[in-house]
Structure 1
């Protein structure tokens, strides 16, 4: 949102706060919610690359239709040409190209703010994903806990891990992962964390989870794939690459933490002799 004017930012936040319903009402109604005029709403639609407010509403209606589709709605029944091995390589190249393009489109200011928050080891850091994206949150948590303290994966925020959510405080950081066919629980969790004064980082897809309305940092990443299922390829690249500048920012503290972690972890690992050659 850095490129938006103040009035355009107000429209964007009003739209995200009740997404997509706010955009399906009249321009005057959305403008009233945002505290701006109807012409300002129209200028906002032009700023995001649409010709008119009616074009925005058409796009929102198309998105609502897409949201109702599960994996079967994305099946391409036409088989690829060539062998299975050729298909795998071709699709791998497509995923890699899409991932790089998606990473390049994330606003640099959002990446910088995310690194600042993740590298602040004086703050508690909580991470939660959904049914599909929980593995991503876990992967990031496992990497971060090796280099900084106070990292907690919250797998069941409204159940077994509820006490961690209840105890959220103003200096906490909460990283959420929520992709298309968004989870109501994630949106509720973002809203609760914001009320508690915590800083919220959201990793989501390009359509933006409604949780973006309460996020301080939004990192949109592609989950598109040449299959009926969404892909975490680009998102995994994002979280793994974020850890590197966080580690550099932590400096000696990060190295010391990793050394302690590795020493303790080595107790569990089997020591195997390396083969020798004559």
Structure 2
């Protein structure tokens, strides 16, 4: 579990002063945690002892241990495929990879509270709000997959087009309370983070699907769903992300089955009543 996940999990047990430190840490990750205790306290508007109590609340023996964990976490976020490729495996490559994928799915299930999953599905089931999907260099394929399914069972599903130069234009159509599903995993994309800032200004509701280190987009998101992606090899795995998306699609489809069934039936009617190509 990353430090940001630890903070989110411990928020309910914190005092008001400790929560101020927590919110400052989340809003200024990772720089706040890498500063001195005094600097961290000044940034959070609290005292040095409060910062130390916050660190203790997370389960660390002291501030140095907290900073060591934070540095290791940052290093893991920035690993390149070349660095990850140095690890080796024994036995069947196929079996080892499938075993790791199963571990990642199980870890993702443990990491996502049922309440957060239901909150995401509730947002995506709000037919009064438009729904947008977008991902990063590799995860956008999953965003496309998600949008293709959601478009069948609910209205007003759209995708931000691939050219980042046109995103500002497309933002003109995003209204307050619209829902935007963003995918962002390590090494996080600056253009997606900037887009999330602009979406926040327009008061859109962001559902973030990310990794266990949490994209910086998490500070703007209404719901954050972390997935385990480390495959122990050169490339990170998207298996858990896809499994989560399929679970969301299934839940949204059946939350309002009458509406979903009506749209599926209408689509089937259109499909089977197309005029055949004539000569």
1:26 aligns with 2:36: yes
Q: Provide, for residues 1-23 of structure 1, a one-character-per-residue CA deviation record: whole Å limited to 9, x for no partner.
A: 36412444433332222221111
Whole-angstrom distance in 2 between the partners of 1:93 and 1:66: 21
Matches within 5 A, 1:238-253: 238-253=244-259
Q: Which has the higher contact order (CA 8 A, sep 6+)?
A: 2
Counterparts in 2 of 1:113 and 1:37: CA distance versus 1, 3 Å: farther
**TM-aligned CA distance change 1:96 to 1:41, over 3 Å:** same
Task: Note the C-alpha offset of 1:265.
Answer: 4.2
Residues 1:69 and 1:104: Cα distance change in structure 2 (over 3 Å): closer
Equivalent residues of 1:156, 1:162 under 8 A apart: no
2:24 maps to which residue? 14
Larger mean CA deviation between 45-54 and 232-241 belongs to 45-54
Unaligned runs of 5+ in 2: 1-7
Aligned-partner SS, 2:138: coil
* Distance across 1 between alignment mates of 2:134 and 2:262: 27
Instruction: Label 1:101 to 1:64 Cα distance change in 2 as closer, same or farther (>3 A).
Output: closer
| Structure 1 residue aligned with 2:120 | 114
Query: Greater share of helix residues, 1 or 2?
Result: 2
Q: CA 1:79–1:66 in structure 2 vs 1: closer, same or farther (change >3 Å)?
A: closer
User: Which residue, 117, 132, 135 being the options, matches 2:138?
Assistant: 132
Other structure's SS at 1:126 match: strand
CA shift for structure 1 position 76: 3.3
| Structure 1 residues 1-278: aligned runs within 5 Å | 1=8, 3-4=10-11, 5=14, 6-76=16-86, 78=88, 80-81=90-91, 86-156=92-162, 158-266=164-272
SS at match of 1:159: helix
Which 5+ residue runs of structure 1 have no aligned equivalent?
Answer: 271-278
The change in CA–CA distance for 1:202 and 1:8 in structure 2 (over 3 A counts) is: farther
Measure the CA separation in 2 of the matches of 1:239 and 1:60: 29
What secondary structure does 1:241 align onto?
A: helix
Q: If the length of structure 2 is used for normalisation, what is the TM-score?
A: 0.86
CA contact (8 A) 1:134 1:155 kept: no
Offset of residue 48 of structure 1: 2.7
Find the residue that maps to 1:146 and give its secondary structure: helix
The 1:243/1:72 distance shift into structure 2, 3 A limit, reads same
User: How many pairs are equivalent?
Assistant: 265
* In 1, Cα distance between equivalents of 2:264 and 2:19: 41
Greater shift in the superposed pair: 51-60 or 142-151: 51-60
2: CA distance, partners of 1:90 / 1:2: 31
1:7–1:132 CA distance, 2 compared to 1 (3 A): farther
Shift of 1:236: 0.5
Deviation at 1:266, TM superposition (A): 4.8
For 1:17-65, what per-residue CA distance to the aligned partner results, in whole angstroms no more than 9, with x for missing partners?
2221111112333233333333332232233332222222112222333
Q: SS of 1:254's equivalent?
A: helix
TM-score norm. by structure 1 comes to: 0.87
